[in-house]
Amino acid sequence: MYKIAAVLAVMAAPAYSAGLEIDIAGEANGTIVIDLFEEVAPKHVEQITAIAAAGSYDGVVFHRVIDGFMAQTGDVENGILGNDLSRAGTGGSEFPDIPAEFSDKPFERGVIGMARAQNPNSANSQFFIMFEPGYFLNGQYTVVGEVTEGMEIVDAIKRGTGANGAVIGQPDVMQAVRVTE
């Protein structure tokens, strides 16, 4: 459940240089630091920082991880460690979907993009971190930030199997996600 006061405080706050610190546990262990691009994707950054400030990303697994491509997480509805993870990747948050904020920022190693369904305006809470460049995503998905510290931790995240990269068994998890300034 969202901590409404924290969500409202973040959403009402003036524009600032936002970031995230994510403590990861599992095959990967450590903290990664992300710089968020509020000038590139202000609506997306506002929503994910509100979700993080409410503590809703804490305990969410990396449910889809494709070697040489990306690691996806952020399903605050169906991706909570300890719950039935068979639907991880199909949920979002209590917030509405966000209209696309495409930019000319390329999908390079360490870039954070917003996951979405087929509709370009369907991003909500899920995001992915690029292991390698994925220029075929340019102009198709919203770029929201980049990893500035801890890519070696991202590189160690447990990989999934098959074409969709579903993680079998115990997936790695975002133990805690903090908003930074």
pLDDT tens-digit map of 96-135: 999 999 999 999 999 999 999 999 999 999 999 999 999 9
| Predicted local confidence at residue 7, as pLDDT | 45
Q: pLDDT tens digit string along 78-93?
A: 999 999 999 999 999 9
Q: What secondary structure, in 3-state letters, does 58-78 show? A: CCEECCEEECCCEEEECCCCC
Where does 4-180 sit in CATH, by number? Answer: 2.40.100.10
Residue ranges of alpha helices (H) inside 21-173 are: 42-53, 151-155
Task: Specify whether the CB–CB gap between 123 and 115 falls below 8 A.
Answer: yes
Statement: residue 156 has pLDDT above 80 = yes
Contact 76, 95 (CB under 8 A): no
Q: Where are the domains of the chain?
A: 4-180
What pLDDT sits at residue 4?
42
Separation CA 37–CA 13 (nearest Å): 16
Predicted pLDDT of residue 3:
45
Quick check: 142 pLDDT over 50?
yes
